[in-house]
Amino acid sequence: MTITKQILVLVFLLLPAGCGLKAGMDQAPFSSEVDRLFESATLLPDHTYYFIGSEMDPDAVIAVDNRFQLRTRVWSRAEANRKLLEQWAFQARTYHGWWNCPYRGVVLLAEDGQKVGVGYSRWTFSVVRRVGPGTIEIYPPVATGLCIRQERLDDL
């Protein structure tokens, strides 16, 4: 293979790694404590649970502190209980994609740094917006880097 072809192949393989969050969007901080909460199916008191995707095998889960009301068109509210959280933890534990896109826990922070809840997904959480007193919006997580390819494979 010529050097030009090698460079083109390398650019093609690395290009998705540069795609992802838009300028000005910060990634929510990963948290091993949140990982443990979801993996142990710990139901957080004073939190309301929401999911995206199938309720039995969600793409993402959030637990919003009840001090906040979530305004959403994309998140579905879940009647969370220990059995449902165990099902979600099982699905996350047994998920095996081709790329290294593990489920990760994050702390969800408003623009002012106040904790509004936690999230768990293979994708990257980035935006939490206050839209009024006590009301927030949490944008769905997005696939970044090589996980963009995994998301496309999962959709097949």
How many domains does the chain contain in total? Answer: 1
Helix, strand, coil proportions of the chain in percent (round to 5)? 30, 30, 40
In a domain, 5, yes or no: no
Q: Which residues contact 91 (CB under 8 A, 6 or more apart)?
A: 56, 57, 58
CA 28 vs CA 36, 119, 122, 133, 138: distances in Å = 17, 9, 13, 22, 11
In a domain, 27, yes or no: yes
Name the pTM for this structure. 0.75
In a domain, 36, yes or no: yes
In a domain, 92, yes or no: yes
Look up the domain containing 136 and give its range. 16-155
pLDDT in tens, the chain (156 residues): 555 544 433 333 333 333 333 333 456 677 889 999 999 999 999 999 999 999 988 989 999 999 999 999 999 999 999 999 999 999 888 866 555 677 889 999 998 899 999 999 988 887 899 999 999 999 998 877 666 666 666 666
